[in-house]
Amino acid sequence: MYPSVESGKATAEAAGGSSFDVTKQKDLQLLKPKAVGLVGVLFLTLTGAAPMTASLLNIPIVVGNGNGYGAPAAFLVATLILLLFSVGYAAMASKVSAVGGFYSFISHGLGRELGMAFGFCAVAAYAIFEPALAGGLSYFLNLKLNELFGINVPWAPLAVGMVVLISVLTYFEVQLSAALLGVALVAEVLILLFFDLGIFAHAGHGVAVSASALNPLAAFQGFAPDGKLLGGAAGIGLFFAFWSWVGFEMAPNYAEESVNPKKIVPISLYVSVICLGVFYTVTSWAVVSSYPDFHSLIEAAQNNSATFFFDPATKLLGPWVTSLMSYLVLTSSFACGMAFHNTAARYLYALGREGVFPKALARTHVVHKTPYVASIVQSAIAILVIAAFAIFIGSDNPQTDAYAGLFSLMALMGTILVLSAQAVVSLAVIVYFKNNHASEAGRWSTFVAPLLAFLSQAFALYLCATNMEFLGGGFAFADWIIPLDIAIFAVGLAGAFLIKTTNPAKFEKIGRLIYQGVPEGMLASAEHAAAAK
Q: pTM, whole model, 2 decimals? A: 0.86
In a domain, 5, yes or no: no
The dihedral over CA atoms of 127, 175, 276, 304, expressed in degrees to the nearest 10, equals -60
Cα 193 to its chain centre, rounded Å, is: 22
Structure confidence at residue 1 (pLDDT): 34
Spell out, as residue ranges, where the chain has pLDDT lower than 70. Answer: 1-17, 19-33, 48, 99-100, 173-178, 181, 204-208, 253, 368, 441-442, 513-533
The C-alpha atoms of residue 530 and residue 305 are separated, in whole angstroms, by: 51
**Strand 18-21 relative to strand 513-514, pairing:** parallel
Residue 524 is assigned to a structural domain of this protein: yes
Residue 4 forms part of a structural domain: no
Q: Answer whether residue 15 is part of any domain.
A: no
- The answer to whether the beta carbons of residues 94 and 514 sit under 8 Å apart is no
Say how far apart CA 74 and CA 281 lie, in whole Å.
8
| CA distance linking residue 273 with residue 48, whole number of Å | 12
Give the strand order in the sheet containing 18-21: 11-12, 18-21, 513-514
Cα separation, 105 vs 111, whole angstroms: 9
Q: Give the up-direction half-sphere exposure of residue 142: CA atoms within 13 A in the CB hemisphere.
A: 23
Residues 75 and 196: their CA atoms lie apart, in Å, by 16
At residue 148, the 3 state secondary structure works out as: helix
Residue 429's Cβ-side half-sphere holds a number of Cα atoms within 13 Å equal to: 34
Instruction: Tell me the C-alpha distance between 35 and 517, whole Å.
Output: 12
What is the tens place of the pLDDT at every residue in 102-120?
888 999 999 999 999 999 9
pLDDT in tens, 13-59: 433 457 665 556 666 655 666 777 888 788 777 776 778 888 998 89
The C-alpha atoms of residue 120 and residue 128 are separated, in whole angstroms, by 12
In the DSSP assignment, the letter for residue 21 is: E
Q: Is residue 13 part of a domain?
A: no
**pLDDT value at residue 203:** 78
Contact 169, 176 (CB under 8 A): yes
Whether 243 is in a domain gets the answer yes
- For the chain, the first-to-last Cα distance in angstroms comes to 36
Confidence at residue 228, expressed as pLDDT on a 0 to 100 scale: 78
What pLDDT does residue 15 have? 39
- The rounded Cα 282 to chain-centroid distance in angstroms is 21
What is the domain count for the chain? 1
CATH number at residue 251: 1.20.1740.10
Q: Residue 528: what pLDDT?
A: 43
CB under 8 A, 24+ apart: contacts of 240-243: 240/58, 240/61, 240/62, 240/66, 241/58, 241/62, 241/74, 241/75, 241/77, 241/78, 241/280, 242/78, 242/81, 242/82, 242/415, 242/419, 242/460, 243/54, 243/58, 243/411, 243/412, 243/415
The pLDDT assigned to 178 comes to: 63
168 Ramachandran zone, left/alpha/beta (phi>0; psi -120 to 50): alpha
Print the domain residue range for 206. Answer: 36-532
Crossing angle of helices 38-49/261-289, nearest 10°? 40
308 belongs to a structural domain: yes
Helix then strand then coil, % of the chain, to nearest 5: 75, 5, 20
Please check whether residue 87 lies inside any domain of the structure: yes
